[in-house]
Amino acid sequence: MRLLHTMLRVGDLDRALAFYTDVLGMRLLRRQDYPEGRFTLAFVGYGDETDTAVIELTHNWDTAAYELGNAYGHIAIQTDDIVATCEAVRLKGGKVVREPGPMKHGTTVIAFVEDPDGYKIEFIQKHTQ
């Protein structure tokens, strides 16, 4: 078995795709409209779906926004240079909600950004050996 994807419901698919592709640098892997069900699925990621887990963005045509609730945590992305990654997000109009620094009660360097729908994405600094 392997992890295939994480699904997020988004209110504005074009806005979400711009964030995940332009700001976070993922690729749009595939997109399919389902007119009978009034929804669109778009899959984004850093690699091909046959090799890596990806994110499924689900846009229900009749829903403009969602409440995130208190059960969702975050998606984590490893980065070689967390400070430069946060600065690149900021320069592309993204929202950094926790600046890079050690995690609470630990030494791992993390930061958080937020996508246009309010989902949190954690950046984790890659350890160098």
Verify whether residue 114 is a known catalytic residue: no
* Active-site residue, selected from the candidate residues 87, 99, 114, 122: 122
Residues 76 and 122 sit within 8 Å (Cβ to Cβ): yes
What is the three-class DSSP state of 118? Answer: coil
109-114 vs 95-102, strand pairing mode: antiparallel
Q: What are phi and psi of 127, to 5 degrees?
A: -75, 140
**Residues noted as catalytic:** 122
